[in-house]
Amino acid sequence: MNEAVRKGVSARSPHAIDAYVGERLRLRRTLLGMSQEALGDELNLSFQQVQKYERGTNRISASRLYELGRILDVPVSYFYEGMSDDVIGGKRPEENEHNHDTPDGQDPFAKRETLELVRSYYKISHPIVRRRVYALVKALSGNEIEETENALDAVKL
C-alpha cells in the first residue's frame, strides 16, 4: 500500500511541515508589508511560485529557505518556530485546533489591525519608548488592574 494512503494523506496534498513553513513565510512577508510580487522579484520568481510556497504546494529547498531568511531578515529557524507535535506528526495546520489568545478566537495575524499595530510599533525608533509601549500594551491586555495602573504610571498617562 502507498505510504501516503496508509497515513491518510493524499499524495497530492502538501506535507504538514511544508504547509507550516509556508504559513510562517506568509506571516513574515505580510508583517513586513511585502507583496507576493515584490518577494518574487527578490527571488527572481513569479508571484505564483511564492503563492505555491506559502500554501506548501511546492517545497522550499534549503538554499531557497536561506535566501528567504536573508530577504525577510529572519534566521532559517524562524520558519520552524512554534511547530506543534501535530504538525511534526503530519497533521496539516488548518486541521489543528487553533487556540488564539483573542476574545473572538480568530487568528490575530489575519487581521489588518494587528499588522498595522506591529508595523507602527517597529517604526518607533527610540528603544526606551518602544519598551514602554510594549510594557503598556502587555499590562493593558492583562486581567490585573494593579499591573495596568503601574504601566500607566510608568508612562505618565
Query: What does the DSSP assignment read for 75-142?
Result: -GGGGGTT--HHHHTT--GGGSPP--SSTT---GGGSHHHHHHHHHHHH---HHHHHHHHHHHHHHHS
Domain residue extents for the chain: 3-104
Neighbours of 43 (CB within 10 A): 15
**What is the homologous superfamily of the domain 3-104 according to CATH?**
lambda repressor-like DNA-binding domains (1.10.260.40)
From first to last of the 157 residues of the chain, give the pLDDT tens digit. 445 544 445 557 778 888 889 989 998 898 888 899 999 999 999 999 999 999 989 999 999 999 999 999 999 999 988 888 777 777 765 544 444 555 565 666 667 788 788 888 888 888 899 888 888 888 887 766 665 566 566 666 5
Residue showing cell 497533521: 91
Neighbours of 107 (CB within 10 A): 12
Query: What's the pLDDT score for residue 5?
Result: 43
- Global model pTM greater than 0.85: no
Neighbours of 89 (CB within 10 A): 10
Query: What's the pLDDT score for residue 144?
Result: 60
Residue showing cell 527572481: 44
